[in-house]
Amino acid sequence: MCGIVGVVSHAPVNQLLYDSLLLLQHRGQDAAGIATANGNNFNMYKAGGLVRDVFRTRNMRSLPGNAGIGHVRYPTAGSSASLEEAQPFYVNAPFGLTLAHNGNLTNSESLRDELFRIDRRHINTSSDSEVLLNVLAHELQLASNGGSLDEAAIFRAVSALHRRVKGGYAVVAQIAGYGILAFRDPFGIRPLCLGSAETESGTEWMVTSESVALEGLGFKLSRDVLPGEAVFISLDGDLAAAQCADNPILSPCIFEYVYMARPDSLMDGVSVYDARLRMGEYLAAKVAERFAPGDIDVVMPIPDSSRPAAMQLASRLNIDYREGFIKNRYVGRTFIMPGQAVRKKSVRQKLNAMGVEFKGKNVLIVDDSIVRGTTSREIVDMAREAGANKVYFASAAPPVRFPNVYGIDMPTRSELIAYGRSDEEIARQIGADALVYQDIEAMKQAVRDVNPAITQFDASCFDGHYITGDITPEYLDRTERRRGEEGTERQGGLQVNLGYAANDV
């Protein structure tokens, strides 16, 4: 779950891209990058770190142009330490292309081989996004037939890409001299939305992972990009869209609603905040079945993501809602940090328990999800150290028992605390006196309550059902073998200034 953005404007877009990446920061903390085009020149700057640390004034000045794309990265392929895998990616032919990708391809190995043997394209990193860019480049080359591009050819290329590529992908790409192309996989696993702003010089367009980036920058959400759909915005601001997949069916990743997305985003017609409130309601019903009235003195969220669910749960059960854990606002999201050691240390740095809220009380701590158990283990300890009598734990999502292969970094079953364990065993592992999990159906219903038109989800990390149909036990074994702990070393930035004539190809 990286964050992506593409903008076509009538004025320089560097600041707009920077500001939108700040609004998408919660989707990726490892690296950030921006690529703009002025005339036929691409300018790109990307480096490891948070948006505010990556871009200096001099880097911003080196990004002129009225159209461009941006990316914040949370790696699912390759490694977080590799600057070469930071995005956007660039390829020079045909026309000159830059691309930013949110998601994870499930057939990138065979595509990589095919690209090398048949399409004669060389991939120089372990990133699946570089594979995706090269498939797009190859298909654009074929669709343009050696000539110039038009919308029909661009959409043909995306259709051909959908037939070759499998997995989760929301993409923004820039074609030098033409405009911005955005598309979403046929299941719409990863989110992508479109918005516009009226300016004196005409309409500005933005395509991005979450509507919060639109709203925060004065754009109006027009709509979600549909699963399988491609949207092309020319440098003049003309927009064309086409369905490019044979059997598109919306199956958004339910983990976006549980944890990934900002609560103030609207995603596939669902207010994320509203969905989380409803998860809290369903969880309240389960908690009520499990505990005797009066057994819980106080309900507490684990900041930040569980707040709406915890609040609604407390309100439904008529129990005091208290903020017993204070969050250090300068520590980011721990789940998406690279490496277990840094994640564990960061939970303690990020959250501190306030004794006065715990002393002698039976506390129900609510989190949105328990994945590796890093947070819950530490938090239960902290609650006990702070003097709690009983420490109960509730998760607004069901147990995470299966790897995620579509863009969330949960690759190995053995690191998932719920893998192969009963609820009682998990409670023991995290040291809680009792543990209540949401049911899978209730979690889905919470989102469907907000938008009944969503008929199915990618809920694979909860139910083990992989909607792309290509995930075998051998695939999961292979992925697990390949992915160990990622390195955390950062490298310096990479300045790229690529001058060339776009239509010379």
Ligand X SMILES: NC(=O)CC[C@H](N)C(=O)O
Ligand Y SMILES: O=P(O)(O)OC[C@H]1O[C@H](OP(=O)(O)OP(=O)(O)O)[C@H](O)[C@@H]1O
- Residues 19/12, Cβ–Cβ less than 8 Å: no
Does 297 belong to an annotated binding site?
Answer: no
DSSP states of 171-217 as a string? EEEEETTTEEEEEE-TT--S--EEEEEEETTEEEEEEES-HHHHHTT
- Residues 125/134, Cβ–Cβ less than 8 Å: no
Give whichever of 101 and 377 is closer to ligand X, judged by the CB atom: 101
Contact status: 73 vs ligand X (CB under 6 A): yes
Contact status: 32 vs ligand X (CB under 6 A): no
Q: How far apart are CA 71 and CA 28, in angstroms?
A: 9
Q: How far apart are CA 166 and CA 111, in angstroms?
A: 10
> Nearest distance from residue 429's CB to ligand Y, in Å?
11
Q: Tell me which of ligand X, ligand Y, Mg ion, none is bound by residue 76, counting a contact when its beta carbon lies within the kind-specific cut-off of 5 to 8 angstroms.
A: ligand X
- 319-378 positions binding ligand Y, by CB under 6 A: 333-336, 367-376
Size of site (CB under 6 A) for ligand Y: 19
> Nearest distance from residue 335's CB to Mg ion, in Å?
7
Q: Tell me which of Mg ion, ligand X, ligand Y, none is bound by residue 74, counting a contact when its beta carbon lies within the kind-specific cut-off of 5 to 8 angstroms.
A: ligand X
- Residues 494/83, Cβ–Cβ less than 8 Å: yes
Give whichever of 75 and 228 is closer to ligand X, judged by the CB atom: 75
Backbone angles phi, psi at 163, to 5 degrees: -75, -25
Q: Tell me which of Mg ion, ligand Y, ligand X, none is bound by residue 399, counting a contact when its beta carbon lies within the kind-specific cut-off of 5 to 8 angstroms.
A: none
**Chain residue whose CB lies nearest ligand X:** 2
Distances in Å between the Cα of 425 and the Cα atoms of 281, 302, 394, 435 are 25, 22, 15, 10
Q: Tell me which of ligand X, ligand Y, Mg ion, none is bound by residue 29, counting a contact when its beta carbon lies within the kind-specific cut-off of 5 to 8 angstroms.
A: none
Strand partners, 184: 170
> Nearest distance from residue 494's CB to ligand Y, in Å?
27
Give whichever of 162 and 190 is closer to ligand X, judged by the CB atom: 190
Q: CB neighbours (10 Å) of residue 289?
A: 8
> Nearest distance from residue 327's CB to ligand Y, in Å?
7
Q: How far apart are CA 99 and CA 202, in angstroms?
A: 25
Contact status: 1 vs ligand X (CB under 6 A): yes
Site string for ligand X, 100-139 (x = CB under 6 A): -xxxx----------------------xxx----------
Site string for Mg ion, 283-322 (x = CB under 5 A): ----------------------x-----------------
> Nearest distance from residue 170's CB to ligand Y, in Å?
20
**Chain residue whose CB lies nearest Mg ion:** 305
Give whichever of 4 and 235 is closer to ligand X, judged by the CB atom: 4
Query: H or E stretch including 273?
Result: helix 272-290
Give whichever of 2 and 91 is closer to ligand X, judged by the CB atom: 2
- 253-312 positions binding ligand Y, by CB under 6 A: 259, 302-305
Q: Quick one: tokens of 290?
A: 């499990």
Helices 340-350, 374-385: axis angle to 10 degrees equals: 40
Q: What 8-state DSSP symbol labels residue 330?
A: T
Backbone angles phi, psi at 271, to 5 degrees: -75, 120
DSSP states of 373-432 as a string? SHHHHHHHHHHHHTT-SEEEEEESS----S-B-SSSSB--GGGSTTTT--HHHHHHHHT-
> Nearest distance from residue 70's CB to ligand X, in Å?
14
Site string for ligand X, 404-423 (x = CB under 6 A): ---x----------------
Clarify whether 2 is annotated catalytic: yes
- Residues 69/155, Cβ–Cβ less than 8 Å: no
Q: Quick one: tokens of 166?
A: 């499998």
Give whichever of 9 and 412 is closer to ligand X, judged by the CB atom: 412
> Nearest distance from residue 413's CB to ligand X, in Å?
19
Q: Tell me which of ligand Y, Mg ion, ligand X, none is bound by residue 374, counting a contact when its beta carbon lies within the kind-specific cut-off of 5 to 8 angstroms.
A: ligand Y
Distances in Å between the Cα of 307 and the Cα atoms of 28, 258, 332, 382, 468 are 21, 11, 16, 18, 32
Q: Tell me which of ligand X, Mg ion, ligand Y, none is bound by residue 370, counting a contact when its beta carbon lies within the kind-specific cut-off of 5 to 8 angstroms.
A: ligand Y
Does 368 belong to an annotated binding site?
Answer: yes
> Nearest distance from residue 397's CB to ligand Y, in Å?
9
Which residue do the tokens 């953005």 mark?
A: 5
Contact status: 29 vs ligand X (CB under 6 A): no
Please tell me which residue in 2, 193, 244, 461 is annotated as part of the active site: 2
Q: How far apart are CA 350 and CA 196, in angstroms?
A: 37
Q: Tell me which of ligand Y, Mg ion, ligand X, none is bound by residue 62, counting a contact when its beta carbon lies within the kind-specific cut-off of 5 to 8 angstroms.
A: none
Q: Tell me which of ligand Y, ligand X, Mg ion, none is bound by residue 102, counting a contact when its beta carbon lies within the kind-specific cut-off of 5 to 8 angstroms.
A: ligand X
- Residues 295/433, Cβ–Cβ less than 8 Å: no
User: Out of 8, 63, 77, 230, which residue is the one contacting ligand X (CB under 6 A)?
Assistant: 77
Q: How far apart are CA 419 and CA 402, in angstroms?
A: 7
Nearest to 6 by CA among 171, 146, 198: 171
Backbone angles phi, psi at 326, to 5 degrees: -100, 130
Give whichever of 46 and 333 is closer to ligand Y, judged by the CB atom: 333
Q: Which residues bind ligand Y (CB under 6 A)?
A: 259, 302-305, 333-336, 367-376
| Active-site residue list | 2
Binding residues for Mg(2+): 305, 367-368
Binding residues: 305, 367-368
Q: Which residues bind ligand X (CB under 6 A)?
A: 1-2, 73-78, 85, 101-104, 127-129, 407
